[in-house]
Amino acid sequence: MHGDWMAGALLQMWCQENVLHTRNLYYASKVREQLAELCARCSIALTSCGQDTEQVRRCLLAGLFTSVAELQRDRRHYLTVSSSPPIFTLHVS
């Protein structure tokens, strides 16, 4: 995904098609650069996960668990999984 974003000539359109915010991709790009620099300093080889995204998903879930939400039966509301916070309503943008 990162390569697709970096190669895209029409970034704004690509973000809309993939339901992403340009600002968040920029932030992710900066984090990626920092991680690459740290790996280089520690002599850790950079490798791609290819099609096996299991490890990436596990890392994201571990770090973002408190933000995980479940779509409710009415298909309009999300309820966060952790504790009992409020329900979030979907809106068409």
> For 33-91, how does the pLDDT look when each residue is reduced to its tens digit (9 = 90+)?
998 999 999 999 988 888 888 888 888 788 877 777 777 788 777 777 775 655 555 55
d(CA 51, CA 25): 20
Residue 7 lies in a domain: yes
| pLDDT computed for residue 24 by the predictor | 83
Residue 52 lies in a domain: no
Q: Is the pLDDT of residue 5 over 70?
A: no
| pLDDT computed for residue 87 by the predictor | 58
Residue 15 lies in a domain: yes
For residue 42, what are the domain limits?
A: 2-47
Residue 42 lies in a domain: yes
Residue 67 · residue 75 · CB < 8 Å: no
Provide the number of structural domains found in the chain.
Answer: 1
Residue 41 lies in a domain: yes
Residue 72 lies in a domain: no
| pLDDT computed for residue 2 by the predictor | 54
Residue 32 lies in a domain: yes
Residue 57 lies in a domain: no
d(CA 73, CA 41): 49
Q: Is the pLDDT of residue 92 over 60?
A: no
Taking the model in full, what pTM does it have? Answer: 0.50
Check residue 65 and report its DSSP letter: G
